[in-house]
Amino acid sequence: MSARTLSEIEALIDRHSPADQLRLLEDLAHRLRARVAADEQPDAESFSSQFALMASDRDIGTELEAIGQELVATESDGLTRD
């Protein structure tokens, strides 16, 4: 946004009462929070592709195998998955 455009917007806002300016600011903040929240949530396709990448990563597979080996001893603790 150019400095001129920003100055014009500020001049338009200055013509309104402080209460209206505050209402405008609150509305803009609400819209921005909603937009940021929507951008932060991945869609299902993106989520699935990220899982596929992780599943094909050899380092992650190696780490999961190591964790599995460490947990083998807990299989004899008598607890069931029920």
What tokens appear for 15 in the block? Answer: 């013509």
Q: What is the pLDDT of residues 8-20, one digit of tens each?
A: 888 999 899 989 9
Q: Is the pTM of this model over 0.85?
A: no
**Helix, strand or coil, per DSSP, at residue 59:** helix
Residues of the chain with pLDDT under 70: 42, 81-82
- For residues 76 and 81, what is the distance between their CA atoms, to the nearest angstrom? 12
Q: What is the pLDDT of residue 49?
A: 83
Q: What is the pLDDT of residues 37-47, one digit of tens each?
A: 877 776 777 77
Q: What is the pLDDT of residue 29?
A: 92
